[in-house]
């Protein structure tokens, strides 16, 4: 074994499959742990499952749980206003951006260049809001001394592990995909395009849209309009032809008594 080939040398398609598998676990962790378990308390996870997701997100995103919870709650409270941490709707109105294509182009720039910066800037400037809104996030010693304090350490360990396991080229590429997946797809696409492009099941006082009826790529977060209609629901799909893969995983965990569903829309 050497640094160039790794313990498990991979062809290009093998590296692609590993990257997709790793990013899918990250997406599942975001939608089930951060979103439905921590922020909205729509589902309660077994402590072992919850800690696995927390550890995985530390390795792959460096996000602090209470900051994510606070930002998302603020998004629901101040949706598409100047106080919304991660929706550019107010900025588009101020700049006079009109039409679906103009809005989409603006959103592309926001996703690529400004989404993560807006998130970091808001958490740094609104520490009181983070403390006030991040009430469901864990505050144990491990969170204080490791996960929240050394966010970049997890990313470095993940990158190192990828290189050791899969070699310098494949491991580095897998790590880059992991680092981009959440900022671009989970944050940028959902909070940006999900307020511009797609269809609506519900007329709400915001521009939220369901991007696609099949919530696979980003774990069910594609059904953004449905979520804004009832944020406390553990299930994002509403129509029989909509698929929320995050809900599918929750049902499996519920069967094995690893999750307890607290609320479903319409129940």
The reported pLDDT for the residue numbered 183 is 73
The 10s digit of each residue's pLDDT in 191-210 is 667 777 889 999 999 888 99
The reported pLDDT for the residue numbered 93 is 59
Residue 52 has pLDDT above 90, yes or no: yes
Q: Can you tell me the distance from the alpha carbon of 211 to that of 196, in angstroms, rounded to the nearest whole number? A: 9
Burial (CB count within 10 angstroms: exposed 0-12, middle 13-18, buried 19+), residue 54? buried
Position 67 confidence tier, pLDDT thresholds 50, 70, 90 = very high
Number of residues that this document lists for the chain: 267
Cα distances (Å, whole numbers) of residue 64 to 28, 57, 119, 181 = 17, 9, 11, 17
Average pLDDT score over the chain: 87
Burial (CB count within 10 angstroms: exposed 0-12, middle 13-18, buried 19+), residue 124? exposed
Share of the chain above pLDDT 90, in %: 65
The reported pLDDT for the residue numbered 22 is 96
The reported pLDDT for the residue numbered 181 is 82
The 10s digit of each residue's pLDDT in 145-167 is 999 999 999 999 999 999 999 99
Helix/strand/coil for 199: strand
């Amino acid at each position: 074994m050497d640094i160039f080939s790794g313990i498990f040398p991979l062809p290009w398609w093998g590296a692609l499959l590993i990257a997709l598998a790793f990013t899918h676990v990250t997406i599942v962790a975001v939608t089930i742990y951060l979103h439905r378990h921590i922020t909205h308390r729509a589902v309660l996870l077994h402590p072992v499952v919850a800690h696995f997701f927390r550890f995985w997100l530390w390795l792959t995103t460096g996000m602090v749980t209470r900051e994510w919870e606070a930002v998302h709650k603020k998004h629901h409270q101040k949706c598409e206003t100047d106080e919304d941490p991660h929706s550019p709707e107010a900025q588009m109105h101020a700049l006079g951006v009109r039409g679906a294509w103009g809005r989409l182009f603006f959103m592309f720039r926001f996703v690529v260049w400004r989404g993560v910066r807006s998130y970091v800037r808001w958490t740094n400037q609104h520490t009181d809001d983070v403390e006030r809104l991040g009430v469901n996030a864990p505050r144990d010693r491990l969170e204080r001394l490791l996960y929240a304090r050394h966010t970049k350490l997890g990313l470095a360990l993940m990158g190192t592990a990828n290189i050791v396991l899969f070699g310098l080229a494949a491991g580095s590429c897998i790590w880059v995909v992991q680092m981009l997946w959440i900022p671009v797809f989970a944050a940028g696409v959902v909070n940006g395009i999900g307020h511009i492009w797609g269809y609506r099941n519900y007329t709400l006082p915001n521009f939220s849209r369901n991007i696609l009826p099949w919530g696979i790529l980003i774990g069910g977060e594609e059904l953004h309009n449905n979520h804004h209609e009832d944020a406390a629901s553990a299930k994002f799909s509403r129509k029989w032809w909509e698929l929320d893969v995050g809900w599918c995983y929750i049902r499996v965990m519920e069967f094995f008594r690893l999750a307890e569903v607290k609320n479903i829309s319409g129940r």
